[in-house]
Amino acid sequence: MMTTDAWTAYLDQATDLHRHLEAFLGYVDYDDEVLAPDSGTYIDLAKLRAAGVHTLVASVGFGCYFQTGPRAYHLAGPDTWVLEHQTRRLEHVVNAVRRCPAARLVERRGDLDAPPTDDRVGVIVHLTGNAHTVDLDTVDRWFGHGVRATHPAMQYHNRWCTGMEGLPGPAMTDFGRDVVARLNTLGVVLDTAHASEASAHAMIETSSKPLIDSHTTTRDLVPPSRGLRDTTLQLIAERGGVIGVHFADHMLTSDVWSQKYAPAAGYGRPLRRWRYNQHLLDTYQEPDERMRWRPGPPPPWDRKVVLTGNSAWEMDPEERWEAEQAFYRAHDLPPDPDPPHGRIATIAHVADLVDYLVNLVGQEHVGLGGDIGGISADQWPVGMDHAGHLPHLTAELLSRGYSEDSLRRILSDNWRRVYWECLPAQ
């Protein structure tokens, strides 16, 4: 790994390259900041323009779950309820893209090729999870709403495939195979992100089209991560797919796990909040009421991060917070260990992951995933603070000897190739 800031000497060249290459971001965790003119923390239209981003994949998730243990997840309501509310969320995102004068919805191959005079950002809508896919008609509905990519595996969804380190479940049910076939027929890109090793293999074996792993690492490089094994990533590449590089620290180096998360009893283990979540599930039977009291972020509160999307869930964040704290006091539950905060990974670690994957599967099968919007401030690598800093990573790669042709593949062409092959022609 390069430990110097040699990339700064290549920043002008990288910035110029981003003016012309039409960068493609393989995975953005959507919120309304994505289409904000310039007020986003990690992403907005100004930052996307600064990075020369021409197309992005906007993931539409619906985290309506309650975790009560290491592999214990409970959706707020039945799958039909999840379907209803995921549909509302999806409609909100698609309508936001259609209304935004600086964005355009990508639904078919030809939409990937906007004329040079069209500087709008192309948005490919991506759906997460599988519990809400209750029948094949649902798949058709998603497609009709504009969905053109999906990663069905999530740790709290296990209707027909299973997430890494999540609820136990099937690698792939017969219904799941029917879903994959329908996705292939319609023109929806299948994404193995978050999948268990067995589910990823089942997707690869079942799909007749190239697949992607949109935002990931490899467990052979970062063993504590949720990344797939090298051999599985190679299978995706052999089918013509693309592996998307994650930007978060815990997907880049094992040092983060030993230095940041091990002192706090592991990443993502809020033990007393698990107790509180179980209390909410036991106390409230109506899904909307459970969501209304679902634990929110700590103070200070910013309205844009308070759970929205359904007015029935909205309440004063201070009231929600105080109810949670009162439960802890009543049950004499001390605070959970807090992970040390601070940025450990650097832009060089991101480039190391690019190097590793290029050596593993070839430069024709590597792209930038990112997971922008799903990364907290102290998880960003030093040298990259937001989407507008993508040229910094390009500069680091230039400093390592990557040619501009190679960078065009990694930053744009590889993603475009897979989507061109999979999206419907009309």
CATH number at residue 362: 3.20.20.140
The mean per-residue pLDDT over the stretch 376-395 comes to 96
Same domain assignment for residues 239 and 296? no
| First-to-last C-alpha distance (Å) of the chain | 45
Asked whether the beta carbons of 414 and 242 are under 8 A apart, the reply is: yes
Amino acid identity for residue 388 in this structure: G
Among 285, 308, 335, which residue terminates a domain?
335
Same domain assignment for residues 169 and 201? yes
Average pLDDT over all residues of the chain? 92
Same domain assignment for residues 223 and 137? yes
- Residue 14, classed as helix, strand or coil, is helix
Asked if residue 165 belongs to a domain, the reply is yes
- pLDDT at position 263: 59
- pLDDT at position 310: 59
Bridging pattern class, strands 65-69 and 72-75 = antiparallel
Asked if residue 54 belongs to a domain, the reply is yes
> Which residue has better confidence, 398 or 312?
398
Asked if residue 22 belongs to a domain, the reply is yes
| Local confidence band at 265 (pLDDT 50, 70, 90 cut-offs) | low
Longest Cα–Cα distance of the chain, Å, equals 63
Same domain assignment for residues 40 and 141? yes
Q: Of 58-67, 106-115, 301-310, 346-355, where does mean pLDDT reach its minimum?
A: 301-310
Same domain assignment for residues 163 and 282? no
Same domain assignment for residues 326 and 356? no
Among 319, 335, 351, which residue terminates a domain?
335
| Local confidence band at 258 (pLDDT 50, 70, 90 cut-offs) | confident
Bridging pattern class, strands 147-151 and 242-246 = unpaired
The mean per-residue pLDDT over the stretch 144-153 comes to 97
Asked if residue 16 belongs to a domain, the reply is yes
**Domain range for 296:** 270-335
- State the DSSP code for 273: H
- pLDDT at position 115: 83
Asked if residue 391 belongs to a domain, the reply is yes
- Residue 160, classed as helix, strand or coil, is coil
The mean per-residue pLDDT over the stretch 70-87 comes to 91
The mean per-residue pLDDT over the stretch 338-350 comes to 89
Same domain assignment for residues 247 and 292? no
Q: Of 256-265, 280-289, 352-361, where does mean pLDDT reach its minimum?
A: 256-265
Asked if residue 219 belongs to a domain, the reply is yes
Bridging pattern class, strands 23-29 and 366-372 = parallel
Same domain assignment for residues 74 and 161? yes
String of DSSP letters for 296-339: -PPSSP-GGGS--S-GGG---HHHHHHHHHHHHHHTT-PPPPPP
The values of phi and psi at residue 254, to 5°, are -70, -20
| Local confidence band at 341 (pLDDT 50, 70, 90 cut-offs) | confident
Asked if residue 1 belongs to a domain, the reply is no
| Local confidence band at 415 (pLDDT 50, 70, 90 cut-offs) | very high
Domain count within the chain? 2
Residue 297 has pLDDT above 90, yes or no: no
Residue 217 has pLDDT above 70, yes or no: yes
- pLDDT at position 264: 54
- pLDDT at position 3: 46
The mean per-residue pLDDT over the stretch 381-401 comes to 98
Q: How far is CA 145 from CA 141, 192, 308, 424, in A?
A: 6, 22, 21, 14
The mean per-residue pLDDT over the stretch 148-160 comes to 94
Asked whether the beta carbons of 62 and 89 are under 8 A apart, the reply is: yes
Burial of residue 225 (number of CB atoms within 10 Å: 0-12, 13-18, 19+): buried
Q: How far is Cα 283 from Cα 426, in angstroms, rounded to an integer?
A: 50
Burial of residue 330 (number of CB atoms within 10 Å: 0-12, 13-18, 19+): exposed
Question: Which tens digit of pLDDT belongs to each residue from 174-216?
Answer: 999 999 999 999 999 999 999 999 999 999 999 999 999 999 9
| Local confidence band at 259 (pLDDT 50, 70, 90 cut-offs) | confident
Same domain assignment for residues 166 and 215? yes
- pLDDT at position 2: 42
Among 285, 319, 335, which residue terminates a domain?
335
Q: How far is Cα 390 from Cα 28, in angstroms, rounded to an integer?
A: 13
158 forms bridges with which residues in the sheet? none
Same domain assignment for residues 260 and 291? no
Alpha carbon 86 to its chain's center = 16
Same domain assignment for residues 309 and 193? no
Asked whether the beta carbons of 220 and 231 are under 8 A apart, the reply is: no
Task: Look up residue 208 and give its two tokens.
Answer: 């007749």
- pLDDT at position 308: 44
Same domain assignment for residues 197 and 280? no
| pTM of the shown model | 0.94
If you average pLDDT over each of 43-47, 89-93, 260-264, which comes out highest? 43-47
